[in-house]
Amino acid sequence: MTTSTDRLDKKAHPFDIFVGTKIKLLRKKKGLSQTALARALGITFQQVQKYERGDNRVSVSRLYDISKVLDVSLAVLVSGFDVLEAGMLGTGAEKEEVENLLDQLRSDEILRLIEHYSEIEDPGVRRSIVSQVEALARAAMKERRGSERVLVVEDDPLVRNHVAATLETLGYGVRTCVAAEDAMSVARGDEPFDLLFTDIVLPGRMNGIELASEIRTLRPNVRVLFTTGFANDAVNHETLTGSKAILLLKPYRKRKLADMVRIALEDWPGA
């Protein structure tokens, strides 16, 4: 039996969030309040709120009614999710990253940007806006850049290549390894590196925590940043403190990665 608590604890499906975001965007574009849309549909505005958050799934018949009120085709409300999901997953992003992106799309600031941008028809002006936003983003990332050397240990090739490319764009020198044994070979050699960025779960006999301990024996001054997609990877605060390291949970965005690398290199008190 499904209880109300079960429904509250259940995470919204990405597609429901996607559809809800479209409903909210098109409602705002048409100049309707949640109350006005609810009145037109014969439901409460609280129900509209749940639809727009993705908390409640919209039935096909209800979606049809919404399309009529918003004066759009049914296809407009549901199309595009498969392209978004395939596009992100094709770059090596995890499914959680798609959900994170959709969560961001639900914010009022993002919706206002989309709403006003869609009203601009001049392609030159559109390109100018995109260029300005990109310039602002680059300026925001500038203070998070560095020139240190980072040893990245990650067995997933898509994630490994993505992290390496991201760190290189931030100015870091990067050496990548697939397993702990490969990283130990680097540590025993003469190649310098300042930070070990390793997944906790690795193939072979040694995990990321054990790897960090071994490398710190060889190179006591190396800083450590762990990453994992599993919050319950038997990692607790004492373990991390003992390893003089911090943890970056997957999935993460470029800005979060940049922030945590700088913290690991400069600000972490155990470093």
Q: What is the CB neighbour count within 10 angstroms for residue 212? A: 27
116 and 184 fall within a common domain: no
117 and 151 fall within a common domain: no
Average pLDDT value over all residues in the chain: 81
**Is residue 4, in this structure, part of any structural domain at all?**
no
Residues 6+ apart with CB under 8 A from 183: 151, 153, 177, 196, 198, 211, 215
Residue range 201-251, pLDDT digits in tens: 999 999 999 999 999 999 999 999 999 887 554 455 445 545 567 899 887
Query: What average pLDDT does this structure show over 89-108?
Result: 54
Q: Say how many domains are in the chain.
A: 2
Place of tokens 């919050």: 231
* pLDDT > 70? residue 256: yes
Bigger pLDDT: 88 vs 59: 59
- SS3 of residue 75 by DSSP: helix
pLDDT for residue 7: 39
* pLDDT > 80? residue 8: no
User: Which burial class, exposed, middle or buried, applies to 22 when counting CB atoms under 10 A from its CB (0-12, 13-18, 19+)?
Assistant: buried
Phi, psi of 81 (to 5 degrees): -65, -40
Residue range 101-147, pLDDT digits in tens: 556 666 677 777 877 887 888 889 988 988 888 888 777 666 678 99
Q: Judge contact between 149 and 194, C-beta under 8 A.
A: yes
> Full-prediction pTM beyond 0.95?
no
**Is residue 127, in this structure, part of any structural domain at all?**
no
67 and 176 fall within a common domain: no
Angle between helices 95-105 and 81-89 (to 10 degrees): 130
- SS3 of residue 249 by DSSP: strand
Token pair belonging to 46: 């609280």
pLDDT for residue 137: 74
pLDDT for residue 136: 82
99 and 174 fall within a common domain: no
173 and 245 fall within a common domain: yes
Phi, psi of 153 (to 5 degrees): -120, 110
Host domain of residue 69? 10-121
**Is residue 3, in this structure, part of any structural domain at all?**
no
What CATH code is carried by the domain that includes residue 18? 1.10.260.40
105 and 150 fall within a common domain: no
pLDDT for residue 10: 56
Please give the Cα distance from 167 to 257 (Å, whole number).
9
* pLDDT > 90? residue 183: yes
* pLDDT > 90? residue 148: yes
pLDDT for residue 240: 56
227: closest CA among 255, 211, 203, 251?
251
**Is residue 79, in this structure, part of any structural domain at all?**
yes
Residues 6+ apart with CB under 8 A from 207: 180, 200, 201
What CATH code is carried by the domain that includes residue 181? 3.40.50.2300
